[in-house]
Structure 1
Amino acid sequence: MTSGVQVAQRGRQIDREACLTALAAGEIARVVYHQAALPAVEVVVYDLVDDGIVFSVPDGSGLAGVEEGSVLALTVDTVDGEGSGLCVLVTGKVRELAEARGAGNGADRPTPDGSPRTLVIPLQRLSGHRVALALRR
């Protein structure tokens, strides 16, 4: 019996508008940050709010130790039933939701899950590309 592995094949770059569309359609992302001088990744539930990605940080999360102004990366992947999709990367200097209040970016709403800390990654750098899953044997 032969078992196959699905691998993503990187395709062409997508423009900013396609990146924003993919971000608006998604809900779950991976946030990349530094913890004890090593890269760390956590899954978050996010919202795209005007010029930034907003997500809450649960108690006990490694993200709770992230300092304001730190550079974070966030990745979102979308794949349809046919195995094709988009991969989007957002990079920016994180800020607290409280600091974002009144900035006109829509971040004034309540914390999604009541967590004590909510962060915003501004869309300072935004890139993406098409992906296609292929079965390897």
Structure 2
Amino acid sequence: MSTDDDTPAVPFAVPSDVPGAPEASAEVPAAGAAENEPAGPHGYDENRAAHLARLKRIEGQVRGIAKMIEDDRYCIDVLTQVSAATSALQSVALGLLEDHMAHCVVAAAREGGEEQEVKLREVSDAIARLVRSGR
């Protein structure tokens, strides 16, 4: 499945126990996805297990937040948990950014040329998105 705005779509399995979730997996556009994703190992390969474990914990936090709302918990308590989940996601994002810079950007800088410029622009754009989302 693709989107109308030509943004590449990535498969994303929506858990079936989430209220209103579709029965099958859905495709979610990869916001800000690079147009020409390089093949081969990515910068996060070395920390893949740690990133996945962290994301699974965050997934549990988000499910807990949904349960809090279902149980009509106090707004401030829900917001506190939303803040914690948001901070955890920001931490994962910074780890991925660090991995990308240490692997992909450094490799491109060693090669020089156009690839160096592309990687620097990509990382600059990624940092800008993270800064905007942290407001």
Per the normalisation by structure 1, the TM-score is 0.23
Q: Which has the higher contact order (CA 8 A, sep 6+)?
A: 1
Per the normalisation by structure 2, the TM-score is 0.24
Flag the structure with higher helix content. 2
